[in-house]
Amino acid sequence: MTLFSVWECWWLAPLAVAMDLALGDPQLPWRHPVCAVGRLLDILERPARRCMEQGSPGRKAARGRLAGAVALVILVGAVCVVTGALIALPVLGTLAAIYLAWAGLAMGSLLSTGREVLIRVEHSAVGEARQALSWLVSRETADMERPLMRKTLADTLSENLTDAFVAPLFWLLVAGPIGLWGYKAVSTADSMWGYVTEKWRFLGWAGARADDVLAFVPARISVCLVFVTDVVARIGVLRGTSRPWTGHWPGWHVLAQQARGMPSPNSGWSMTACAWLCGARMAGPSVYFGTYTPKPWLGPDVAHPWDAERLKALCSLLRRTAIVGGAVLCLAFLSIKALTGAC
């Protein structure tokens, strides 16, 4: 069994979820581990790019993809080895496992940053609001007006339900901190290199495809967790508990049909579910690093515009999904463990 996976350590994942939602990403004397992952990827870029550029121009694509794949293997291997060494330490290994599990989940910090960006979008000068939004998104914000900024904020918050929470938690349950940080290494490679631009379309190919594979199941699980959260909230309405999102569930066929229309096989699932429940549209054509990217619209055809209250409702939906969905996912894995006799 993998060290500190759910198969041998039932308490780590629930503790990590609780710490993430309660504490977010507080200031510590050291930098976040993902910064070290990004730094290593930066170091690997130069030799990978050199390998890609050498030789005949006709083979550049193949060399670039191979160089990117080799860099990805080195990155993931190094991250997994370091993570494994830390959590295997006597006594301190348990503390390292707790910290790395907590640091690998990012819903708390995502929602905290999202709320701060929302305040600036609503109340700051347009230029400051655009700069704040650029903290969270990779698309061009220089020409955005406030309505588009609100929709873009909704896009990135809902998309990151999978990337920042469900997928890391899934791999933490499956393979402990080693699995979580192996996924985080791939996700970091995708976020830094995985763009269809002249600079990255070859070197970033392996990272993007690996991320597609590792997030495939979690992306679809995220939709199930949003659905369960909405059902729980509807039951709560009968007991006086508020349900701030005012949309409705479109049905699994409609949701899957819309999500499959996105260029990425995974990004549209949580976005579509959140768009329908919030009664507003997401996605649509966007510009990334000066490149126009056609995307379909997700959500109802007759939709409300994104405003501050609707974005607050989205944040509430995401936070509750992390609480309810985290509990459901942990219990599901523990049930599998009990049924299969894993130890």
Q: Which residue stretches of 54-106 are H helix?
A: 60-87, 92-104
Q: Which amino acid is at 271?
A: M
Mean pLDDT of 246-254: 94
Q: Is the pLDDT of residue 173 over 60?
A: yes
The C-alpha angle 266, 220, 342, rounded to 5 degrees, equals: 125
Q: Which amino acid is at 24?
A: G
Compute the distance between CA of residue 215 and CA of residue 237 in angstroms, rounded to an integer. 33
Q: How many CB atoms lie within 10 A of CB 326?
A: 23
Contact (CB, 8 A) for 326 and 17: yes
Mean pLDDT of 114-126: 94
Mean pLDDT of 37-46: 96
Q: Is the pLDDT of residue 240 over 80?
A: no
Contact (CB, 8 A) for 88 and 3: yes
User: Residues near 281 by Cβ (< 8 Å), separated by ≥ 6?
Assistant: 151, 275, 297, 298, 299, 300, 303
- Residue 226: domain span: 12-340
Tens of pLDDT, residues 209-229: 999 999 999 999 999 999 999
User: Residues near 160 by Cβ (< 8 Å), separated by ≥ 6?
Assistant: 106, 110
Residue 235 — very low, low, confident or very high, per pLDDT cuts 50/70/90?
A: confident
Torsion of CA 148, 151, 155, 156, to 10 degrees: 70
Q: Is the pLDDT of residue 110 over 80?
A: yes
Report yes or no on 6 lying in a domain. no
Query: Closest Cα to residue 76, out of 264, 214, 220?
Result: 214
Q: Is 249 left (phi over 0), alpha (psi -120 to 50) or beta?
A: beta
Q: Is the pLDDT of residue 239 over 60?
A: no
Average model confidence (pLDDT) for the chain?
Answer: 92
Q: Is the pLDDT of residue 97 over 90?
A: yes
Q: Is 56 left (phi over 0), alpha (psi -120 to 50) or beta?
A: beta
Q: Which of 61-65, 75-79, 156-160, 239-243 has the lowest mean pLDDT?
A: 239-243
- Residue 342 is predicted with a pLDDT of 53
Highest mean pLDDT among 136-150, 174-188, 241-255: 174-188
Q: Is the pLDDT of residue 293 over 50?
A: yes
Q: Is the pLDDT of residue 241 over 70?
A: no
Q: Which amino acid is at 196?
A: V
Pairing mode, strands 286-288 and 282-283: unpaired
Report yes or no on 245 lying in a domain. yes
Compute the distance between CA of residue 163 and CA of residue 155 in angstroms, rounded to an integer. 13
Tens of pLDDT, residues 53-68: 887 777 889 999 999 9
Report yes or no on 295 lying in a domain. yes
Mean pLDDT of 193-222: 93
Number of domains in the chain: 1
Find residue 291's DSSP bridge partners.
Answer: 288
Compute the distance between CA of residue 146 and CA of residue 249 in angstroms, rounded to an integer. 27
Query: Closest Cα to residue 115, out of 313, 321, 285?
Result: 313
User: What is the distance of C-alpha 197 from the center of its chain?
Assistant: 21
Q: Is the pLDDT of residue 277 over 70?
A: yes
Compute the distance between CA of residue 237 and CA of residue 103 in angstroms, rounded to an integer. 34
- Residue 289 is predicted with a pLDDT of 60
Report yes or no on 236 lying in a domain. yes
Report yes or no on 286 lying in a domain. yes
Q: At 243, list the tokens.
A: 């349900």
- Residue 1 is predicted with a pLDDT of 59
Compute the distance between CA of residue 4 and CA of residue 109 in angstroms, rounded to an integer. 24
Is residue 307 helix, strand or coil? coil
DSSP secondary structure, 35-61, as one string: HHHHHHHHHHHHHHHHHHHSS-GGGHH
Report yes or no on 246 lying in a domain. yes
Report yes or no on 3 lying in a domain. no
